């Protein structure tokens, strides 16, 4: 019998192979950096860093007269020493709008700029720390400012409306749309209920296997971003939707080889991917809350907010959501309650009646 990899194990293998291909498109000395950060970073982080750092060297070849005729393998670590803060500032300006090799137009907002600058700082920091270079111009350039954005989440009544819609919208469908809906209804309702009832990440959701669900203790075993496993418990509503799906359409399905253990299957009988779940959530949510762009992460925010309001325990919320830093949790879920903020609207009178 073939060795069946878990979703997490297979993802690590796929990303590792992809990272090796990206490294071939970077200057040879860059491999030292990625080898050094391997013990304390995830494979996904290293892969994103590799993409970001490649953009930096492409910028130099496109915009810096010194490197106009360079090929990627001509760069030496000493070239990092020759750059000045103004070069890094020009790079940040470039990142706002640029074209990739395939001519696709790319843009970066505050978050994207900060991530790429963080990658470059780590890259420079490694070579500076190990005395390969004597200058680190990235430290002399301010990190891009990130403005606070309003946290989008579903209100309690919108949660009920969403689940009700998934249960009953088939009544308004006809033809092929109705056939597809009936085929995926139990699965979609189970996923939405699970996301709203546990706050797990979409990657953790699609990585679930059948044996990860424990109805005896009403818990699921998930693999967090760093690879650690954790049991997250669920309530009666999640139990009911999972049972209905697992004893119904999931039991009747015949998965393709290699996907037999997957909890959530696509209509092609493969393990569902992150993008498929994101598309499914958006499809239903836009019918119920067209004014809000709801994604699986917004469902996670909805759960975290509800849990904090019910318990007032920020440490519990951090633990259940898998936040390593409780300050991250506090920032998102322990802000001024919106109901109190609404009270401010009527607290000050401009004219006496």
- Alpha carbon 148 to its chain centroid, in Å, reads 18
**Range scoring the smallest mean pLDDT among 43-47, 289-293, 321-325, 335-339:** 335-339
Instruction: Please state the rounded mean pLDDT for residues 147-174.
Output: 90
Lookup result for tokens 């393709």: 256
> Which has more pLDDT, 19 or 348?
19
- Confidence bin at 52 (pLDDT 50/70/90): very high
- Count of domains observed in the chain: 2
Asked if 85 and 160 sit in the same domain, the reply is: no
CATH code, domain with 114: 1.10.150.130
DSSP for 152-182 reads: P---HHHHHHHHHHHHHGGGG--HHHHHHHH
Contact 288, 210 (CB under 8 A): no
233 domain-assigned: yes
| 191 pLDDT tier (thresholds 50, 70, 90) | very high
Q: Which residues are within 8 A (CB) of 200 and not within 5 positions of it... i.e. 6 or more apart?
A: 194, 220, 222, 232, 300
The proportion of the chain whose per-residue pLDDT surpasses 70, expressed as a percent, equals: 93
* 269 and 293 together in one domain: yes
Two tokens at 175? 């033809």
Q: Print burial letters for 106-132: b (CB count within 10 Å at least 16), e (below 16).
A: eebeeeebbebbebbbbbbebbbeeeb
Q: Which of 2-16, 75-89, 177-191, 213-227 has the lowest mean pLDDT?
A: 2-16
Least confident of 32-36, 246-250, 320-324: 320-324
Within a domain: 347 = no
Same domain, 244 and 182: yes
CA–CA distance, 160 with 172 (Å, rounded to integer): 19
The region that residue 269 occupies, defined by phi over 0 for left and psi between -120 and 50 for alpha, beta otherwise, is: left
Please report whether residue 195 resides in a domain.
yes
Q: If you ran DSSP here, which 8-state letter would residue 40 be given?
A: G
Domain boundary among 91, 111, 140: 140
3 state SS of 222: strand
- Confidence at 152, pLDDT banded by 50, 70, 90: confident
pLDDT tens per residue, range 116-147:
999 999 999 999 999 999 999 999 999 988 87
Q: Confidence band (pLDDT; 50, 70, 90) for 346?
A: low
Tokens coding 96:
């706002």
| Residue finishing a domain among 115, 140, 165 | 140
Pairing of strands 229-233, 219-223: antiparallel
- In the chain the beta strands, taken as DSSP E runs, fall at 97-99, 105-107, 213-214, 219-223, 229-233
Q: Quick one: 28 and 102 in the same domain? A: yes
CA distance 262 to 260: 6
Is position 352 within any domain? Answer: no
Render pLDDT for 194-207 as a digit per residue (tens, 0 to 9).
Answer: 999 999 999 999 99
- Looking at the fold, whether 134 and 166 belong to one and the same domain comes out as no
Q: What pLDDT shows up at residue 1? A: 41
Q: Decide if 96 is inside a domain.
A: yes
Domain around 324: 156-335
b/e per residue, 202-219, with b = 16+ CB within 10 A?
bbbbbbbbeebbeeeeeb
Predicted pLDDT at 148 = 75
Instruction: State whether 169 and 118 are in the same domain.
Output: no
In a domain, 304, yes or no: yes
**pLDDT score for 224:** 86
Specify whether 192 is located in the same domain as 72.
no
Q: pLDDT of 231-247, one tens digit each?
A: 999 999 999 999 999 99
Is the pLDDT confidence value at 336 over 60? no
Looking at the structure, tell me whether residues 192 and 307 fall in a common domain: yes
Given 109, 140, 171, the domain boundary residue is 140
For residue 210, the 8-state DSSP code is: G
Binned at pLDDT 50, 70 and 90, residue 260 comes out as very high
Has residue 1 been placed in a domain? no
Mean pLDDT of the chain: 91
| 321 lies in the same domain as 178 | yes
Look at residue 351 in the predicted model and tell me its pLDDT. 66
311 Cα distance to chain centroid: 26
Report yes or no on 211 lying in a domain: yes
């Amino acid at each position: 019998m073939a060795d069946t990899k878990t979703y997490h194990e297979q993802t690590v293998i796929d990303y590792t192979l992809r990272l090796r291909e990206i490294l071939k498109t970077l200057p040879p000395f860059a491999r030292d950096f990625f080898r050094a950060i391997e013990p304390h970073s995830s494979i996904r982080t290293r892969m994103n860093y590799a993409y970001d750092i490649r953009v930096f060297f492409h910028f130099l070849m496109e915009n810096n007269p010194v490197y106009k005729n360079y090929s990627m393998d001509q760069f030496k670590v000493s070239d990092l020493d020759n750059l000045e803060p103004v070069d890094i500032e020009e790079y940040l300006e470039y990142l706002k709008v640029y074209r990739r090799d395939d001519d696709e137009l790319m843009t970066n907002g505050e978050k994207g700029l900060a991530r790429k600058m963080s990658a470059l700082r780590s890259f420079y920091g490694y070579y500076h720390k190990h005395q390969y270079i004597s200058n680190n111009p990235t430290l002399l350039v301010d990190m891009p400012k990130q403005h606070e954005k309003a946290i989008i989440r579903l209100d309690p009544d919108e949660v009920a409306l969403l689940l009700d819609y998934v249960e009953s919208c088939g009544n308004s469908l006809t033809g092929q749309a109705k056939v597809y809906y009936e085929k995926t209804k139990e699965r979609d309702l189970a996923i939405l209920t699970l996301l709203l009832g546990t706050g797990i990440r979409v990657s953790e959701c699609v990585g679930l296997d059948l044996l990860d669900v424990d109805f005896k203790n009403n818990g699921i075993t998930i693999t967090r971003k760093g690879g650690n496993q954790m049991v997250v418990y669920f309530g009666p509503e999640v139990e009911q939707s999972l049972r209905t799906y697992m004893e119904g359409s999931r039991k009747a399905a015949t998965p393709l080889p290699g996907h037999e253990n997957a909890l959530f299957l696509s209509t092609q009988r493969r393990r569902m991917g992150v993008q498929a779940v994101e598309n499914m959530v958006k499809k239903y949510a836009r019918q119920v809350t067209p004014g809000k762009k709801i994604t699986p992460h917004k469902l996670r925010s909805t759960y975290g907010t509800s849990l904090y309001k019910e318990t007032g325990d920020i440490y519990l919320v951090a633990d259940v959501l898998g936040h390593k830093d409780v300050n991250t949790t506090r920032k998102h879920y322990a802000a001024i309650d919106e109901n109190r903020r609404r009270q401010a609207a009527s607290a000050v009178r401009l004219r006496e009646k």
